[in-house]
Amino acid sequence: MEAMLASGIEYTIFFYNPNIHPLKEYELRKEENIRFAEKFGVPFVDADYDRDNWFERAKGMEWSPERGERCTMCFDMRFERTALYAHENGFPVITSSLGISRWKDMKQINDCGVRAAANYPEMMYWEFNWRKGGGSARMIEISKRERFYQQEYCGCIYSLRDTNRHRVATGRERITIGVQYYEPENNK
Ligand code: SF4
C-alpha cells in the first residue's frame, strides 16, 4: 500500500476473504487493514464474508496441503470476486498483496489472478513481485512501526488445524487468536 502511494498510483482496497476462520480472526485482519487504509485515505471496500460458499468450494480438499489444489481454489474464488467488482466499477487493473508472503507460491497466485482478469477483455492483472527490491524487509519494518496484528496461520480452518498439529508436534503451544502483535523489538 505504501509503495503504490509513493508511486502515485490511485487504488482501492477490495477486502474479500471468506476463507479466514474463525470470525474473530477475520475481524482482526480486516480491522487492521481498515486502520491502515484510513491513515492514508485509501478507499476500502468491505465485501461479503460468504464463508458458506468458501466451504462449499473447499469440499473434498480438506486435507490438501498448503500451496495445493485447495489454495488454487481459494485464490481463484477471491480473484473472481475481485475481478467482478473491478469490472462492474470501472477498474482496469487488479493485483494482490498475497504474494508478499514467503510462504506463498507466487506463480500459483499470479496464475489465478490472470485467469480471473481474463474473463473481462478490458482488464489486466498486474503481476508484480512485491518481495523484490527489499519489499519483504520493508513489510516487516512497516508491521513493527504500525504494531500490526501478526497472523500465525494462513487463514482457513484447515491451515489453522495443520499449523496447530505442527506446533504440538514440535512442543509448542496451540495458536491463541488475537494476542500477537509485531513489536519494534521483535526480530521476527
Ligand atoms: S491455506 Fe490459505 S490459501 Fe490455502 S485454502 Fe487455506 S486460507 Fe486459502
- Predicted pLDDT of residue 33: 96
Residue 71 near ligand 1, beta carbon < 6 Å? yes
Q: How far is the CA of 163 from the centre of ligand 1 (A)?
A: 12
- Residue 155 Cβ < 6 Å to ligand 1: yes
For residue 5, how far is the Cα from the chain centroid? 19
Q: Residue 124 pairs with which residues in a beta bridge?
A: 93
C-alpha grid cell, residue 7:
508511486
**Terminal Cα-to-Cα distance of the chain (whole angstroms):** 21
- Section 26-50 average pLDDT: 96
Ordered by where they begin, the domains of the chain are: 1-170 (3.40.50)
d(CA 12, CA 28): 20
Q: What is the pTM of this model?
A: 0.94
Cell numbers representing residue 114 in the block:
490472470
Question: Which pLDDT band, with edges at 50, 70 and 90, does 175 fall under?
Answer: very high
pLDDT band at 103 (very low <50, low <70, confident <90, very high): confident
- Mean pLDDT, to the nearest integer, of 90-117? 94
| Pairwise pLDDT comparison (53 vs 100), residue with the higher score | 53
| Residue 51 CB–ligand 1 contact under 6 Å | no
| Atom 3 of ligand 1, nearest CA residue | 71
In whole numbers, what is the pLDDT of the chain averaged over residues?
A: 94
Q: Which residues pair with 46 in a beta bridge?
A: 15
Residue minimizing CA distance to atom 2 of ligand 1: 154
The predicted pLDDT at position 69 comes to 98
Select from 49, 51, 66 the residue to mutate for testing ligand 1; criterion: most ligand atoms less than 8 Å from CB.
66
